[in-house]
């Protein structure tokens, strides 16, 4: 029996993995630093390589990240800790609520299309199912007063449908960029984090009809992201929300104090 050269297990470079997963090499290196994803091999030149097992683990990491779980929670899940079960159930509940909201929106748009094509009368209740921005009315009024809610409500109602869609997309990109920065291990006072804090400030100012965003309002929101898991989930859970809060605090100290 003849033997040929030993066949090496398939591996991918860190750049190839980052590109395929839609992330960055910096994020993958940070995952290694915190013990979340160790390369299968490091070459003599210091290059990192990942085998199929690493890719499977990364897939799980990204799926859990998409659920809004922070890196410590992800590590616990991957190690089989039962302590995170309730946290995962909470994230699942949030996802199911979002799924239900999207389904209501889809149905309302389908109804609008169908009635428009048939020349039937449109009903406001049918057109705006799932688009209710007033669900936090009482909470906003309790935290910041009725005038704060009224201003935001007037601003939202004054937007066109295209402007609302653009606003929601801007919000989605901002939250994704926050999560990516936190995952990469960036410091709250880094240039990257402070640019995100500036975008957060501009976003809040626009949402308030262009009014001034005070030091207390800005830092208070940052604290709320950590204290309220409903909001913290948008930034990757408690760890990500803490990163956002700390970056916002630095920004406020530098520009709003």
Helix, strand, coil share of the chain (percent; to 5): 70, 5, 25
Other Cβ atoms within 10 Å of 112 Cβ, number: 15
SS3 3: coil
Model confidence at 138, pLDDT cuts 50, 70, 90, reads low
Token pair in block for residue 16: 């190839």
More confident residue, 203 or 230: 203
Beta carbons of 39 and 50 less than 8 angstroms apart: yes
Q: Which CATH architecture has domain 139-255?
A: Orthogonal Bundle (1.10)
Residue 85 or residue 243, greater confidence: 243
Least confident of 35-39, 196-200, 207-211: 207-211
Contact 216, 161 (CB under 8 A): no
Place of tokens 């066949």: 7
pLDDT tens-place string over residues 57-104: 898 888 777 766 778 878 877 776 545 566 566 666 666 766 776 777
Per-residue tokens: 167:
């606003």
Alpha helices (H) in 119-237, listed in sequence order: 124-127, 137-144, 146-157, 161-183, 191-207, 215-227, 229-232
Q: Above 70 in pLDDT, residue 151?
A: no
The full set of domain ranges for the chain reads: 11-80, 84-132, 139-255
Residue 25 burial (10 A CB sphere; 0-12, 13-18, 19+): middle
pLDDT at 7: 39
The rounded Cα 221 to chain-centroid distance in angstroms is 16
* pLDDT given for residue 131 in this prediction: 47
Rounded CA-CA distance 205/151 in Å is 12
CATH annotation of 11-80 = 1.10.1660.10
State yes or no: pLDDT of 140 exceeds 60.
no
Give me the chain's average pLDDT, please.
77
Lowest mean pLDDT segment, chosen from 84-98, 142-156, 195-209, 219-233: 142-156
Higher-confidence residue of 146 and 180: namely 180
More confident residue, 10 or 106: 10
| 6-48 pLDDT tens trace | 435 789 999 999 999 888 898 999 999 999 999 999 998 889 9
How far is it, in rounded angstroms, from Cα 205 to Cα 210? 5
DSSP state of 9: P
């Amino acid at each position: 029996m003849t033997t040929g050269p030993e066949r090496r297990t398939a591996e991918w470079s860190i750049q190839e993995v980052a590109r395929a997963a839609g992330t960055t090499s910096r994020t993958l290196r940070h995952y290694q630093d915190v013990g979340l994803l160790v390369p299968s091999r490091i070459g003599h030149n210091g290059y990192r390589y990942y085998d199929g097992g690493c890719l499977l683990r990364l897939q799980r990491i990204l799926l859990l990240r998409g659920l809004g779980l922070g890196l410590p929670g992800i590590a616990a899940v991957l190690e089989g800790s039962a302590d995170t079960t309730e946290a995962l159930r909470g994230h699942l509940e949030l996802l199911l609520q979002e799924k239900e909201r999207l389904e209501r929106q889809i149905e309302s748009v389908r109804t609008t299309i169908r009635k428009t094509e048939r020349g039937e009368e449109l009903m406001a209740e049918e057109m705006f199912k799932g688009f209710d921005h007033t669900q936090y009315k009482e909470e906003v009024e309790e935290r910041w007063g009725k005038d704060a809610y009224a201003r935001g409500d007037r601003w939202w109602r004054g937007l066109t449908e295209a402007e609302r869609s653009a606003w929601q997309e801007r919000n989605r990109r901002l939250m994704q960029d926050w999560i990516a920065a936190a995952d990469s291990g960036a410091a709250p006072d880094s240039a990257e984090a402070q640019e995100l804090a500036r975008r957060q400030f501009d976003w809040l100012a626009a949402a308030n009809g262009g009014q001034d965003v005070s030091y207390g309002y800005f830092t208070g929101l940052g604290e709320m992201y950590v204290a309220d898991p409903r909001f913290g989930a948008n930034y990757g859970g408690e760890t990500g929300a803490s990163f956002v809060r700390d970056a916002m605090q630095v920004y406020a100290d530098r520009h709003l104090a």
